[in-house]
Each structure stands twice: as C-alpha cells, then as structure tokens.
Structure 1
Amino acid sequence: MTTYSPDQPDRADLDATEGPAVVIFGTDWCGFCRAAERYIAPALAEHPDVPVVAVEDGKGRPLGRSYQVKLWPTMVFLRDGVEVDRVVRPSGRAEIDTALAAITTGA
C-alpha cells in the first residue's frame, strides 16, 4: 500500500531528476486513494527501477499546488524532470501502464 509522506521534496529537486520518476499526491485516509491502490501498486511493481515519491497533499502544501493538483490521487509521470503524463483518480490499470510506458520507453 502506498504511504503518503508528509515530508515534501523541493520542486526544484524533482525538476532536476534524470530519467523516469512518478510523483503521487494523496493522503493515507483518502477513500479514492485507497480504491485506486489496486491499480497503482501492481503497475508500479512492474517498474521497480522507476523512483516513486508519494506525497501527502492538502491545503497549503506547496508541492501539490505547483503541479496544480486538485483531486486525489494524482499521479504525475516525469521524464528528466518534465511532466510527460498525468493520471487523476485512475479507474483502471491501462491508463497507468500507458503513462509508465511514456516515461520508460528508451529510458
């Protein structure tokens, strides 16, 4: 299960990442986040080399605001620090797999 950390990395650090990475915004108590876990966990498990940062989001949290997060969970898929794709409240695994393929192909 994804555990959302209250500690947030700096946006500049995420912008400076090399290769693929995934940032997930949500909370441990969010029902939508818990429901989406059945799609998120197995998709990410197939890409163990892709770094994942799960960030607790909420009012006044600057990282989520910098990515314009409105709903949870929001998955931001980065390649070399640039957003390539985004999945909001996944309702199936296919959209996550597609976004992972977009950041890992040729990586």
Structure 2
Amino acid sequence: MCGGRPVRNATIKLWDNDMFDPDDLIAETQANVDGTFELSGFVISITSIDPQIRIYHNCRSTSKVCRRKITFTVPDNYINKGKKVATWFDLGTPNMEIGVKHKEEPYCY
C-alpha cells in the first residue's frame, strides 16, 4: 500500500542474497492493480540460500529516474525443498510510505 491506496507499478523481485558473490535473481513479478502479488522461484545451490523480497516502488518519491527499494528477508522456515511451494510466506500489507532504516535505498536506472 501507499497510504490508503495500492502501490502502482511496483516491481517485486526474489533474490538470493549472497555474502561473497553477486546476488542471484530468482524470480520477478509486478504488483496487481490492488497491490497484491504472488512470487515463487527455484534455485539450485550447494550452500544454503538467503532469500530476500525486494520491492521497487514510487510511493512518496518525486524522482523520475529513481525508485525506492525496500528489502524484506524471508524467514528460513519458508524455504522449501524442491520446485513446489509447501509453505507460503505472507508478507502482510506493508505501507510503503514509511522508510525502513538500513533496509531501504534508492534504485536508479
């Protein structure tokens, strides 16, 4: 949400946050007109993964070239084995108006 309205044109990406290597993009989607989204992905890795949901949006942004990016870490108990999702993580309804200290940064393209 952006205040009382759905965030428009938000891009949601699922990343494997790697400590020593570049992060791996697992999946990507756009928010629906009502602000909802569903995202799942599959990656083969020899080590454990650290999945993050990154939301790129323009809520309360005046920039024409930068979007706000906010990162959420997916809890370990929602990491499934195999391609089929056994347990979905419900992010809830975050309000993108608020900034999250140390978890938000501009994303300029």
Fold in common (TM above 0.5): no
Structure richer in strand, relative to its length: 2
Question: Relative contact order (alpha carbons < 8 A, sep ≥ 6): 1 or 2 greater?
Answer: 1
Say which one has the larger Rg.
2
| TM-score, with length taken from structure 2 | 0.29
